[in-house]
Amino acid sequence: MQAMKPGVHLINVFRASLFDQEALREQLDNGHISRASHDVVKLGPLPANHRMHQHPRVCFSPPIIWDGPKIIEYLMASWIRLRVIR
């Protein structure tokens, strides 16, 4: 992750974890990574009380998101949440 450009928005849609979650959290906390969006996680789904769910610059989407009729509503809410962080 250190090789990434500072301020990058990391988007993980791979069906396995490419990133160490603890290292990712550290990079988010120190600002090297500005945001992280996940479709899946290594041990997913994470429990609702997991600290990554509480991080203000992390967004999770369920892998079946495209199957539901509320996709536009969900995506808009996520986009607004991420825009507010800026």
List, in order of start, the domains of the chain with CATH numbers: 8-85 (3.40.50.720)
pTM: 0.63
Q: What's the confidence (pLDDT) of residue 60?
A: 79
pLDDT tens digits along 48-70: 777 887 888 988 776 555 556 66
- Give SS3 for 37: strand
- Give SS3 for 34: strand
In the predicted model, residues of the chain with pLDDT beneath 70 are 15-17, 40-46, 62-71, 79-86
Cα atoms in the 13 Å half-sphere on the side-chain side of 82? 16
Q: What's the confidence (pLDDT) of residue 32?
A: 94
Give me the DSSP letters along 38-68.
ES--TTPSPPTT-HHHH-TTEEE--TTGGGS
